[in-house]
Structure 1
Amino acid sequence: MGILKNTLAIVSVIYSVGVFACDVQADKAFPSLLTENGVVVFDEAPIEKEPGDASADEQIGIEVSFVSCSDGAKKLIGKLPFLADTGKVRAAFFARAGQDAKESLFVIHSVNIRSDTGVKYSGDYYTVHVYQDSANGYVRDERLSTYFGNGGDILSDDYKDLVHVFPYKSESSIIEKLVSTSYKSWYVGAPVDLTINKKTSIHSSPVLADVTRMYLVAGDKVKQEGVEAGWLSIMFKTPKGKEIRGWIKCENAGGC
């Protein structure tokens, strides 16, 4: 009987420690995410001022951290971008980025553009951050973070029409992409040949304003060399064998 009591006491202590370490209060920025051995938390935190910055206003950013269940230790995963405003965490979730991969942490952050950037944004500016679980904790996955990228919806010069739509504003939009054939081909590095479906301007970067005088027409064949935030990096070979590289919108070549 004494042995049983001692065993129960030990189990009770272990359970209490585990509960205490993982008993994280509700975060101001976004609800915590429970993992197998800890909790991912989203904290609002003051941003360190640049040297010589004498402004009185305190800038608040959002930090993503991991809290261990075993000892309560807290480790910073990453800081979300401060773009003249704290912004909001629109979504945070775990998803498998590849068939044999562990689940990755996806965070979608957005901020309202308050200053004149020269771009006529309609709504918020979004950034997608992906972190891989490793032996050293969660680390930023640059390849996946670049794939989903950043951006916002953009209006025409007369503010009447949308000329560009950022595709990854929600958890569902990313989950849908992760199971697509185009994403799976990109993930494993398979060669992708595409056909242009309408007259398409070539851009020097995945930015709407960086348009060149070059264009492609329906039926042109291109090779996909990269993907970023709904844009395709392509190579087009002219009938004379000259290689032309640039960026086009995904939807103008059958999606990506």
Structure 2
Amino acid sequence: MKKLLLFSILFFVLCNSYAKDYPLTDNICIKSEVKNSSLFIYKSDCNKKKYLLDKFEVPNDIPEIDFVFLKNIKDERYIFISLKYSEDYRDETNKINYAGKYHLNYVYQCKKECTFDKKISNFLGGGGDLIDIHTKKVVYAFPYKTSNNVEKDLNSNFFKIWFNNQLNDGIVKNKTEIYEDARLNSKKIAYLISGDKFKIIDITSRWLNISYAGRNKKPIIGWIRCEDTNVCNNK
């Protein structure tokens, strides 16, 4: 009984006292605090003044900051925050599961105050590495689980063209499946072959939401992997 009580007290303390600081400049810091199984993220002046930037909750785990950095894009300042947590999802066919952590990327545009930037946040998206449960091989690697990979794409022509709303279409390089959602373990609805042209509706985590005019001219709308096209190769 005493051990159970001690564990309960320790768990309560850990869930309500964990805090960590992430200095970005001499007067800009990010602070994370865990309270009641939720992650609170604050922007501060690296001293006493701070305000709540965001709050996060996920099922069956407490998220934590994986990395955070500051970057200027077109003379505007942005804070990039990546979270990670354990994900026990397994697909309905019992073939694919997440390996390691699930990652979520959030971006905030900062002027006098910082506000959530939906456009860039959606571009980076969220996800994790997927493994074949039977062979244990990685069948999909989430592209933005490190700060180096995020910054690499932020500096690419691929991102710059998209950010300027100039990325409208693409061409398939390798045969690729069209999925119902931006997930390798979602339903396949069609496929494209080398040379097929498509219109781009949206982008997230290097997945392209596309519209393709089939033989009957009726558009097929779904998601394809950007690596099978000419779109992500604009370095």
TM-score tier (shorter): 0.7 to 0.9
Provide closer, same or farther for how the CA distance between residues 174 and 29 of structure 1 changes in structure 2, counting only shifts above 3 A.
farther
C-alpha contact (below 8 Å) 1:120/1:159 kept by paired residues:
no
C-alpha contact (below 8 Å) 2:24/2:70 kept by paired residues:
no
Matches within 5 A, 1:171-182: 171-182=147-158
User: Matches of 1:108 and 1:150 in 2, distance apart?
Assistant: 9
Which one of the candidate residues 194, 217, 220 is aligned to 1:218? 194
Q: CA deviation at 1:83?
A: 3.3
User: Matches of 1:213 and 1:176 in 2, distance apart?
Assistant: 32
- The alignment partner of 1:120 has SS state of strand
- The alignment partner of 2:105 has SS state of strand
Percent sequence identity over matched residues? 26
Give the paired residue count.
Answer: 212
Provide closer, same or farther for how the CA distance between residues 201 and 109 of structure 1 changes in structure 2, counting only shifts above 3 A.
same
Provide closer, same or farther for how the CA distance between residues 42 and 236 of structure 1 changes in structure 2, counting only shifts above 3 A.
same
Q: Which consecutive unaligned segments of at least 5 residues does structure 1 have? A: 1-26, 47-59
Q: CA deviation at 1:37?
A: 4.6
Match of 1:130 in 2: 107
Note if 1:103 corresponds to 2:86: no
Q: Which consecutive unaligned segments of at least 5 residues does structure 2 have? A: 1-16
C-alpha contact (below 8 Å) 1:108/1:128 kept by paired residues:
yes
Letter paired with 1:40: I
Q: CA deviation at 1:74?
A: 2.6
C-alpha contact (below 8 Å) 1:196/1:217 kept by paired residues:
yes
User: Matches of 2:206 and 2:46 in 1, distance apart?
Assistant: 38
- The alignment partner of 1:191 has SS state of coil
Q: Point out the structure with max Rg over C-alpha.
A: 1
Q: CA deviation at 1:151?
A: 0.4
1:93-140 per-residue CA deviation (whole Å, 9 max, x = no partner) reads 1012x323x221111111122x354351111100001111133x2111
Provide closer, same or farther for how the CA distance between residues 73 and 225 of structure 1 changes in structure 2, counting only shifts above 3 A.
same
What TM-score does the superposition give when structure 1 sets the normalisation length?
Answer: 0.75
Q: CA deviation at 1:237?
A: 1.9
